[in-house]
C-alpha cells in the first residue's frame, strides 16, 4: 500500500511538471524552428544528465538495456518533442493539450505489451471512454484545430506512450532518473549534430519568453519531470499510474489560458471533465 501511495504521489508531481510542456513549447516554437528546439532541449538535458551520472558514479547499463534505452530515446527524447513542436505550428497549445487524454490509453496498451501488466476488462472500458471523448473532440475540430496538427499530436501520443512504458520497465532495474539520463546520453551525438545544423541564422529576434520556454522544456520537461514520472510508473504500475495523465489537461488548459491568453473553449473543458471522470473508474479497476 505504501509503495502504491508513493507511486501515485511521484506520478502526480511528474504530471504537474509535464503540464507546462506544451504551453512552453508553444512559446518557444514562435522563435525557434521545431528541429532546433527538439535537439537543443535534448542537448541541454543530456549535459545535465551526464553531470548527474558522473557525480553520483552510476554504473553503465547492461548490454541488454541498450535496446530499450534506444526505444525510450526515440519515444520521449526525439519523437514526442519533435512531433508536438511541429503540431504547435498548426494548433494552439490549449487545443493540443486535450490530446493528452489519449496518453493513458496508449501507455496502458504498451504497459500490457512491454510490461506484462493485465488490467481488468472494466479498466479498458473507462480508459477507452476517456480516449474516445478526446477523439470526438478532435473530429469536431475545436478551437485552434487543424487536421495536420491533430494527426501530428496523435502520432506524438503513440510514440510517447511507448517511451513511457519502456522506460517504466527499465526503471525497475536502473532507477527512474537513471533511465532518462542514459536515454539522453544515447541520443546526444545525433541531437548535437542536428542542433548545430539547425542553429538560427540570428539570435536578435529571440525574446525572453522564448528563452524561458526553451529552459523549461529542457530542464523540467526533458529531465526533472521524468525523474518523478518513471519512479511513479515503476512503483505503482504502468497502466494504473498512467491514468494520472488525464489530469494533465486541467493544469495545461489553465496555464494556456492564464499565461498565453489562449481561448479555452467550453468544449475543451467539457471533454476534460469527461476524461477525468473516466480516470476514476479506470483507477478502480486497474
pLDDT of residue 125: 84
- What are the tens digits of pLDDT across the range 45-98? 999 999 999 999 998 999 999 999 999 999 999 998 889 888 888 887 767 777
Q: Alpha carbon 277 to chain centroid distance?
A: 21
Higher pLDDT, 184 or 139: 184
Count CA atoms closer than 13 A to 115's CA, side-chain side: 32
Helix (H, G, I), strand (E, B) or coil at 222: helix
Q: Mean pLDDT highest for which of 95-104, 146-155, 182-191, 246-255? A: 182-191
Asked if residues 230 and 1 have their Cβ atoms less than 8 Å apart, the reply is: no
pLDDT of residue 41: 94
Higher pLDDT, 40 or 103: 40
Judge whether residue 251 has pLDDT over 80: no
Percent of the chain with pLDDT over 70: 91
Structural domain boundaries, residue 150: 2-285
pLDDT of residue 158: 93
pLDDT of residue 144: 57
pLDDT of residue 283: 67
- What are the tens digits of pLDDT across the range 79-92? 988 898 888 888 87
Asked if residues 264 and 257 have their Cβ atoms less than 8 Å apart, the reply is: yes
- Give the 3-state secondary structure of 63-95: HHHHHHHHHHHHHHHHHHHHHHHHHCCCCCHHH
pLDDT of residue 40: 95
Residue from 153, 116, 125 nearest 284 by CA: 125
Asked if residues 110 and 281 have their Cβ atoms less than 8 Å apart, the reply is: no
Nine-digit cell at 183? Answer: 536515454
Contacts of 120 by beta carbon, 8 Å cutoff, 6+ apart: 285, 286
The pTM for the full model equals 0.83
- What are the tens digits of pLDDT across the range 218-235? 999 999 999 899 888 888
Judge whether residue 270 has pLDDT over 60: yes
Confidence of residue 123 (pLDDT cuts 50, 70, 90): confident
pLDDT of residue 142: 53
- What are the tens digits of pLDDT across the range 127-164? 788 777 776 776 665 555 678 888 898 899 999 999 98
Q: What is the mean pLDDT of the chain?
A: 84
Q: What is the greatest pairwise CA distance in the chain?
A: 56
Q: How many domains does the chain have?
A: 1
Amino acid at each position: 500500500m505504501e509503495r502504491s501511495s508513493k507511486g501515485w504521489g511521484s506520478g502526480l508531481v511528474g504530471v504537474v511538471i509535464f503540464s507546462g510542456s506544451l504551453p512552453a513549447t508553444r512559446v518557444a516554437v514562435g522563435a525557434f524552428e521545431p528541429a532546433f528546439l527538439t535537439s537543443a532541449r535534448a542537448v541541454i538535458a543530456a549535459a545535465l544528465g551526464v553531470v548527474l551520472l558522473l557525480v553520483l558514479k552510476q554504473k553503465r547499463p547492461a548490454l541488454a538495456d541498450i535496446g530499450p534505452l534506444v526505444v525510450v530515446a526515440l519515444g520521449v527524447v526525439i519523437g514526442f518533442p519533435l512531433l508536438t513542436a511541429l503540431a504547435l505550428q498548426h494548433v494552439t497549445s490549449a487545443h493540443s493539450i486535450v490530446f493528452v487524454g489519449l496518453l493513458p490509453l496508449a501507455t496502458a496498451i504498451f504497459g500490457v505489451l512491454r510490461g506484462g501488466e493485465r488490467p481488468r476488462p472494466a479498466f479498458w472500458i473507462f480508459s477507452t471512454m476517456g480516449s474516445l471523448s478526446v477523439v470526438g473532440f478532435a473530429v469536431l475540430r475545436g478551437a485552434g484545430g487543424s487536421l495536420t496538427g491533430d494527426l501530428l499530436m496523435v502520432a506524438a501520443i503513440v510514440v510517447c506512450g511507448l517511451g513511457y512504458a519502456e522506460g517504466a520497465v527499465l526503471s525497475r532495474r536502473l532507477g527512474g532518473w537513471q533511465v532518462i539520463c542514459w536515454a539522453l546520453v544515447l541520443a546526444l551525438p545525433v541531437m548535437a549534430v542536428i542542433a548545430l545544423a539547425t542553429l538560427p541564422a540570428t539570435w536578435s529576434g529571440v525574446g525572453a519568453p522564448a528563452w524561458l520556454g526553451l529552459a523549461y522544456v529542457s530542464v523540467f520537461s526533458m529531465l526533472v519531470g521524468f525523474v518523478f514520472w518513471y519512479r511513479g510508473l515503476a512503483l505503482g504500475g504502468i497502466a494504473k499510474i498512467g491514468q494520472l495523465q488525464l489530469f494533465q489537461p486541467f493544469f495545461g488548459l489553465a496555464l494556456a489560458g492564464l499565461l498565453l491568453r489562449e481561448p479555452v473553449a467550453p468544449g475543451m473543458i467539457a471533454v476534460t471533465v469527461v476524461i477525468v471522470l473516466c480516470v476514476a473508474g479506470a483507477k478502480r479497476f486497474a
